[in-house]
Structure 1
Amino acid sequence: MSIATGTDRSRNLSPNGRAALGLAARGIHVFPVRAGTKFPLVRWATEATTDPETIIDWYTRWPAASVAVACGPSGLIVIDVDGPAGAESWAALTAQHGEVATCTVTTGRDSGGRHLWFLAGDGPSVRNSAGLLGPGLDVRGVGGMVLSPPSVHRSGRHYEWANRAPLAPLPDWLRQAATPAPQPVRRATPGRVSTASADKVLAALVRVVLTAPEGTRNDRLFWSAVKVVEHADAGRLDTETSVDALLRAAEAVGLPPAEAARTIRSAVEGPVRA
């Protein structure tokens, strides 16, 4: 009996599967997400990989899955330029510091959007942030993920390569701008919003799910996901990282993965976000 090799199996992969293999061959860690969403189909924080056999297994099982990239292990920093506000903010930055040619993806957003891919390099780590560089500019670094072509955006359009220029090293000025200044320690006072770190905020929301009594777990998961949206809109949390943490917590307490994903999706994409 003959055993099919990875090369033989890859010939039957979907375009998304072949794209994932192509990225992996360049050292980029990938994982599958549900098409049209950013909901991981695996525990991406620990399972994103460059291993061809694993990727072939994933895209044989989920041929329509979109292709996501784990930025940290891939050594990438991605600047998300979202809509007209993001384009204006980016133009202001590059007018001051100079434009940098690098690999660029169009995201398929209704308002227009681009992802600028940079090599993280050996400098200080850059973590996720929202709006730190300016309105409409998000950063995906350590702990972050982005979708890659030919994934489907929730608008129904596909992510596409705007150009395939070589990945440029992250400029020093951009690394500095994407690194938040240390915040002074403040004591919480009644009636004021807590200044707890993003890690503490997310840990508290995960704990709500993990400690929910049986019969209330789905409701507590929804509540936590709504809070993730609020904190993400305020720039305190990264949505993708937070959603993954909630999904893992839901799985840990016994909620079926599909049910948990639907609950979180209704909170993240539903009218609560409007």
Structure 2
Amino acid sequence: MATIERQARTPALANALSAAERGLAVIPLSQTKHPALRSPHHIDQASAEPRCHGECGRFGHGVYDASTDPVRIRELFAAAPWATGYGIACGLPPYHLIGVDLDTKPSTDSAATLRELALRHLFTIPETVVVRTPSGGRHLWLTGPAGVVVPNSAGRLAPGIDIRGAGGYLVGPGSRTDHGVYTIAPGTAHLTPAACPPSLLRLLLPPPRTNRPAPPAPPSAPAPPSASGDHGRGLVQFVLSAHPGQRNTRLFWAACRAYDNGIGPALAAPLAEAAIATGLPEREARATIASAARMTGHRP
């Protein structure tokens, strides 16, 4: 590693080469955490032509430029000497990396939310690589099985939790951004990314496509109060359209959103009845809503 650092012209390149030695494919990032190289097709991206993913042979295709080849990495950083960090591509072998991004917001404790999901769905959060973000958040590095495509998502698993999967990237430790430096959490630098627990993996995957129509709301289910408007009706419909395996998670997410927007107490009953209509037991539905109320700082 000392040799790499002496040969590298910038700390960002040195860190990127070190990550590549571990089998992690990397790209240069700017201070804004975006890919440092602009697309060579930025002028004609509005055309109907299929989007290029690097087939043209030029740089500037974001995560599709990612590589573990030190020669190519040096070429990438030479083309972007202003790069102050590097991104690690997710979903690629050998790790098939999955990033769990725990955000920090005054109204949301995403780490506690993840622990609650672990208790509810009976999985253990494994010891793994953890990267601290300048804002105080954390990135958990997990690995997925080969052939399983985990999509990127923002808040779908739970409020404040984003997922970086295939086609996404994580900001690598040592990267410098406008808000500070990303660092490895103490005690995790020696670890390798741990396998994603199967129960958590199921929550991260999109629901299977079926021709089954969404179950209708029960006739007795009261409509969301007028104060909640379209947002409240949208949350109820979001719960009604849940497939088996995602009913609890959708209900929890919708209830958190309702409480965050000040309509939780008024929408609790319609959300519960919508969840029951999808097959969720009444006791579990009401417990989930109560949990969401506590997680967002409200009394159930």
Whether TM exceeds 0.5 here: the answer is yes
SS in 2 for 1:132: strand
Q: Is the 8 A contact 1:9 1:56 kept in 2?
A: no
Distance apart, 1:146 and its partner CA? 1.4
SS in 1 for 2:176: coil
SS in 1 for 2:139: strand
Q: Is the 8 A contact 1:129 1:139 kept in 2?
A: yes
SS in 1 for 2:115: helix
Q: Is the 8 A contact 1:36 1:152 kept in 2?
A: no
Equivalence for 1:66: 85
How does 1:250-265 map onto structure 2 within 5 Å? Answer: none
1:113 aligns with 2:134: no
Distance apart, 1:63 and its partner CA? 5.6
Over alpha carbons, which structure has the higher Rg?
2
1:5-33 CA distances to partner (integer Å, 9 max, x unpaired)?
A: xx789614212111101111121110011
**How far apart, CA to CA, are the structure 2 residues paired with 1:153 and 1:44?**
17
1:134 aligns with 2:144: no
Q: Which residue identity is paired with 2:111?
A: A
Q: Is the 8 A contact 2:27 2:62 kept in 1?
A: yes
Equivalence for 2:169: 145
Equivalent residue for 2:116, pick from 85, 92, 102: 92
Equivalent residue for 2:30, pick from 12, 30, 34: 34
Would the alpha carbon gap of residues 166 and 154 (structure 1) be closer, same or farther in structure 2, given more than 3 Å must change?
same
Moved more, 173-182 or 35-44: 35-44
Sequence identity percentage: 32
Equivalence for 1:80: 101
Equivalence for 1:13: 9
Equivalence for 1:210: none
Q: Is the 8 A contact 2:142 2:195 kept in 1?
A: yes
1:19-67 CA distances to partner (integer Å, 9 max, x unpaired)?
A: 1011111211100111233244131243111110121233345164311
Would the alpha carbon gap of residues 88 and 25 (structure 1) be closer, same or farther in structure 2, given more than 3 Å must change?
same
CA RMSD of aligned residues (A): 2.9
Distance apart, 1:79 and its partner CA? 0.5
5+ unaligned residues in a row in structure 2: which ranges? Answer: 38-59, 214-229, 235-256, 258-300
Equivalence for 2:69: 51
Q: Is the 8 A contact 2:29 2:83 kept in 1?
A: no
TM-score with structure 1 setting the length: 0.59
Moved more, 82-91 or 170-179: 82-91
Distance apart, 1:115 and its partner CA? 0.5
**How far apart, CA to CA, are the structure 2 residues paired with 1:25 and 1:113?**
26
**How far apart, CA to CA, are the structure 1 residues paired with 2:168 and 2:145?**
16
5+ unaligned residues in a row in structure 1: which ranges? Answer: 1-6, 194-233, 235-274
Q: Is the 8 A contact 1:13 1:56 kept in 2?
A: no
SS in 1 for 2:140: strand
SS in 1 for 2:67: coil
SS in 2 for 1:22: helix
1:160 aligns with 2:183: yes
**How far apart, CA to CA, are the structure 1 residues paired with 2:128 and 2:147?**
18
**How far apart, CA to CA, are the structure 1 residues paired with 2:69 and 2:4?**
16
Q: Is the 8 A contact 1:44 1:70 kept in 2?
A: no
Greater helix fraction, Structure 1 or Structure 2:
1
Q: Is the 8 A contact 1:79 1:116 kept in 2?
A: yes
Would the alpha carbon gap of residues 125 and 135 (structure 1) be closer, same or farther in structure 2, given more than 3 Å must change?
same
Would the alpha carbon gap of residues 25 and 18 (structure 1) be closer, same or farther in structure 2, given more than 3 Å must change?
same
**How far apart, CA to CA, are the structure 2 residues paired with 1:39 and 1:127?**
19
